[in-house]
Amino acid sequence: MAQYLDMGGYAAFVWPAYAVAAIIMLGIVIASWRDLTRQRGLLAALEGDGARKRAPARSMDHLK
């Protein structure tokens, strides 16, 4: 197992490569997901306040 983790002596290069990819890909997933939920929350709050002056109210459920 230890020999496998050592990657033939190249451990210092192989594992960081996989780690960087994982961190960045997970990072952008998390950032995108949080952005989506944040926008959903903002939209719900704005609609909850009821912009009465808008044109005939239509259900925005399909936009969530």
Question: Using CB under 8 A as the criterion, which residues of the chain lie in contact with another protein when the complex forms?
Answer: 7-10, 13-14, 16-18, 20-21, 24-25, 27-29, 32-33, 35-36, 39-40, 42-43, 46-47, 49, 51, 53-54, 60, 62-64
Cβ at position 24, least distance to another protein in Å: 5
Cβ at position 2, least distance to another protein in Å: 14
Q: Which of 22, 34, 19, 64 is nearest to 46 (CA)?
A: 64
Distance between CA 5 and CA 18 in Å, rounded?
13
CA-atom Rg of the chain in angstroms: 23
